[in-house]
Structure 1
Amino acid sequence: MTASDSAPARPQVALDPPMFASGGGDDLQFSYLHQVHDLSLDCIKIVSADGELLSMNRNGQAAMQVDDFSACQGADWLSFWQGEVREAMLAAFERARGGQAAHFSGYCPTMKGEPRWWDVTLAPLHDPVTRGAGGPLVIISRDVTAEFRAQQALTEVNAQLHAEVQRQTESLRRERQTLLQTNEELENLAYSMSHDLLTPVRHMLSFARLARTSDEQKRDRYLGIVERSAEHLSGMIEGVLKFSRAGRNPIQRSEVNLAALMRDVQTELTAGAEGRAVTWEIAELPQLTGDAAQLKQVLRSLCSNALKFTRTQPHAHIQVRAQRVDQAWEVQVQDNGVGFDQNYAHKLFRLFQRLHHHNEYPGAGADLATVRRIVDRHGGQVQADGQPGGGATFRFTVPDPVPVIVGTLPHS
């Protein structure tokens, strides 16, 4: 119980009856002490050893919003303190009742319910003749509400600053990671341009020269090789362009219904797999935040990859499901295809890196690299697990703090 932010007006009325025994009849000294007590801006109280409120100075009554002291005189002062501060208050009260000064701080509303925080000092009020313990206590409560709120505001500002520093640090970490990945991609791209893209060009040049000096039968075979090499080169160039667009186009974030995207992808791919026995097992898929077009491209690439590498199976089985992992969704695409050696899994997401010859499983080798680039830009990760002849599972994550499940695709 303390002084509020601005000092209350001192009432121009007569002082209350004396609170202290005069001790030796020194009326002048007593009058001086009485005036100091009553004019103090702190809330000064006399409380019995049992906690009964005996007296309170006038400015203390104003601070505590007491209109009529007689209404609370004799009340249990201990009952004013509730909640977290009560334990500290009781310990301080016991210490003062035992004859030693004590102190605590805490919350206690005024008599009209307004919130206040107080810095409280308690001390035994010794009888000036006997000076014994066990008598009443003097309790001085200083209103520290302004200081408490200022400290609370400072704490909130510090928390906001800490959160902003954390956010900026995380942003810088992501930017650094992006730069490292970009450098790696540029190195891979430079290598691919100087090696992988030149391979079909060399084939075309070599077999075009042979075709000029060969008979008609060989010429047709050589020209067929040139044509296939040109198609392969065209696919590789298209893959490079797709890979470049995936890193250049800005991400258009919105609420994305992954189940709806998967329905579209399944329809597109099923049309191109006519005549094959394919079972799609698609579990509940989430609604998350991301770029709908790019996430659809990820799903299409992974599911197309699953269809490609299950074509030797009499009955292809493709599973698509999602699960919550920390503050992200993890989406899995699993197949029962030819699989791969796990020791070479790190090569799968590099541009033009293949674990199977393109004559067996055609393709430019750019789709999985593009998948990784899109997922990286969404702040997620991508990985693959497999074993030769045992199928493969591709996983990618998309950070999203709010889990919402919508829609279920029927099994086909």
Structure 2
Amino acid sequence: MIRWIVVVFVVLLVELYAFQAFKTLFKTRGILIGYALISLVVLLFILYSFLKFDRSVGQTSQSMTAMGLLLLVFIPKLIITLFLFGEDIYRLCVTAIQYFTQASVTESAIPARRKFVSQIALGIAAIPFLSLIYGIFEGKYNFKVIKQTIFFDDLPDSFDGFTITQISDVHSGSFDNPEKISYAIDLINEQGSDMVLFTGDIVNAHADEMLPWIETFKKINTPAFGKYSVLGNHDYGEYLTWPSLEAKDANFAAIKDLHRQIDFELLLNEHRFITKGADKIALVGVENWGHNFKQAGDLGKASEGLTAQDFKVLMSHDPSHWEYEVKKAAKNFQLTLSGHTHGMQFGIEIPGVFKWSPVQYVYKQWAGLYEEFGRYIYVNRGFGFHAYPGRVGIWPEITVLELKKGKKIV
């Protein structure tokens, strides 16, 4: 009950400050009434959608629309609130100083300052507002091919120059544009890599979410060294309420079979040797293991029979697995490929210069390449999207990794 009181108080406070800022620029009564009515309708729709959310169904187009609207209206209004609340603190301090020092001040200075601050607040709030709109209509399908070369001293000679295309976090239940998905599949095929790897989350929850997209994903070419995949946290149906354990198990079995239907070999805590010329590397695939999520992954079982000298590429959906278990493992997993974070679908990236997202305060490794103890992890930013129906600054990614023998020349 107290939580709801706090939420209502915060919402009312944010709406009050946002209306005050709007009122300083628009004096026409009709415009102000229109703004208030639109705000009320949006809030009621968001509230209705969240109260109507059915855990036996999971994410729907309505719940995604509600989440999009929530971010679209709340983040800009929160920025406005911070500016105007800060101004009110300043005013309170000035008033207190005047009271105790009896300093003189003109009353006309206060309204002018308030209008100026409101203008600045509205201008800055427009940036995330417009960015979120772009993210919903364009950003979520703004696919980027990111190429990364990684050097290893112990890479077998025959694999020097070996290329891997990685995708992750498909979340097929969120798609709404077949043309854009087909375009992304064409991008994957254009890379002409030696191997294609998919690191989990084929659906949001239900196996049937993928059914309309099977023929599209079957068009991913099977390269000379195959297509392999692992499961992600969403593939276990953990976030839904099921009518029975049998129904949950049947859905899980159907999700695993989806990989076969799109011609990927699903690795479930197991490994395969990839042979090229006189050499071989081990491709290891674990089920999901997350520090704060399902821990079905069994690294020991997946790497049984392998030694520290074997060159290994590990597929593990959640990068926290690398942080807590993999990077210091005695068997020496030279390269780990993960996804999961989506880069929170929101952030700022200037390649090679600056990278920020709120998700970095939760995951140490959240997008791109990281190295510790001479071992590497690459975290894919995700192919699809979930919850928020868009992407801002952190675009959907198709990764092309080239493995090279030796040391990187700086």
TM-score under structure 2 length normalisation = 0.26
Between structure 1 and structure 2, the one with the greater Rg is: 1
* More relative contact order, 1 or 2 (CA 8 Å, 6+ apart): 2
Q: TM-score, normalised by structure 1?
A: 0.26
